[in-house]
Amino acid sequence: MTAIEIVPSGTSGRSPGTARLLRRPTALIGIVIVLGFLLLTMSASLVAPYSPFDQDFSNTLMGPTGGHPFGTDQFGRDVLSRVIFGSRTALLSILVADGLALVLGCALGLIAGFFGEWLDSAIMRIVDVLLAFPYLLLALIIIAALGPSLLNSMIAIGLVYTPQYARLIRGQVLSVKTTEFVVAARAIGANPARIMLRHILPNSVTPILVMATLQAGTVVVETAGLSFLGMGAQPPSPDWGAVLAEGQSYFLSAWWIATFPGLAIFAVVLGFNLVGDALRDHFDPRRRTE
């Protein structure tokens, strides 16, 4: 008699999907970057060699050296320390602004695309009104109304990007809702919320994920951009955009002040983009079977 041994598929306690995700080198690079920045954010005060606000007028506009690897700015502040503390605002902007846009936009797009008729018209006209606003003008108007601050710039950016999600998901819903499985779900009497959340949303997940991934990067850049224009974080905040703006005046003679915050934005956004890209491939059933 032959004994049949049933072996659990995941002996290490890690699901095959997670293992597949971690096997992607780009995903690993992204995870390392994101974790690195999260750690840096949490341990900024321990890791940074100086306070981001300490001024040293005997060492102004000093190029990168052993004592100041990223150099110093016009007030003799250590650029490395300012870049490390600036990571906090970058990560926060993704959570607040992109999260706000994603939740509001998907809800609006789903409802408009699924129910159609007057509800679609009403929602899409609101979306059109918001989309019709010059993007930066809308952000600036909101900031002007709320007052220039980092949080307000994040809220403004979140609201500005909401219509993009709504429009994209509506386009997807219009396509998906005519497919047989949605028609079948309607025929068996499934309620609209279930159809939207269980059938339509999962089948529209790829473009949402792609957009959310790319928007996470855009949001960090735009938050820094508003600070660059003086509408976000205010001096002497070590926000990357604000540091970059200060460095612009000295760019041709002291390139390091603007260069390193820019590289920091680039790195953290790249990290989130890599992770998001890997997650997209991981969660999309069509890609899983490829």
Chain positions contacting another protein, by CB under 8 A: 121, 125-126, 128-129, 131-137, 140-142, 144-145, 147, 164, 167-168, 171-172, 174-175, 178, 206-207, 210, 214, 217-218, 221, 224-225, 228-229, 241, 244, 248, 251-252, 255, 258-259, 261-262, 265-267, 269-270, 273-274, 277, 280, 284, 286-287, 289-290
Q: How far is 219 from 278, CA to CA, in rounded Å? A: 19
Task: Give the Cα separation of 123 and 95 in Å (integer).
Answer: 25
Nearer to another protein, 266 or 283 (CB): 266
**Residue 99 CB partners (closer than 8 Å, separation 6+):** 158
Q: Which is nearer to another protein, 60 or 259 (CB)?
A: 259
Question: C-beta of 49: minimal distance to another protein in Å?
Answer: 24
Cβ closest to another protein, residue 50 vs residue 127: 127
Which tokens is 277 given? 């890209």
Minimum separation from the CB atom of position 214 to another protein (A): 5
Nearest to 219 by CA among 190, 192, 241: 241
For residue 278, the minimal CB distance to another protein (Å) is: 11
At its nearest, how many Å lie between another protein and the CB of residue 124? 9
Which of 115, 104, 283 is closest to 195 using CA atoms?
115
Q: Which is nearer to another protein, 81 or 203 (CB)?
A: 203
Helix or strand holding residue 67 (H, E): none
Query: CA 156 to CA 136: how far, in whole Å?
Result: 9
Alpha-carbon dihedral sign for residues 132, 135, 139, 140:
negative
- Name which of 73 and 277 has its Cβ closer to another protein: 277
**Closer to another protein by Cβ: residue 80 or 160:** 160
How far apart are CB 19 and another protein at their closest, in Å? 20
Which one, 44 or 269, has the nearer CB to another protein? Answer: 269
| Minimum distance from residue 201 beta carbon to another protein (Å) | 16
**Contact (Cβ atoms closer than 8 angstroms) between residue 232 and residue 239:** yes
144, containing H or E segment? helix 135-146
* CA geometry: angle 245, 248, 251, nearest 5 deg: 150
For residue 57, the minimal CB distance to another protein (Å) is 26
Distance CA 49, CA 178 (A): 59
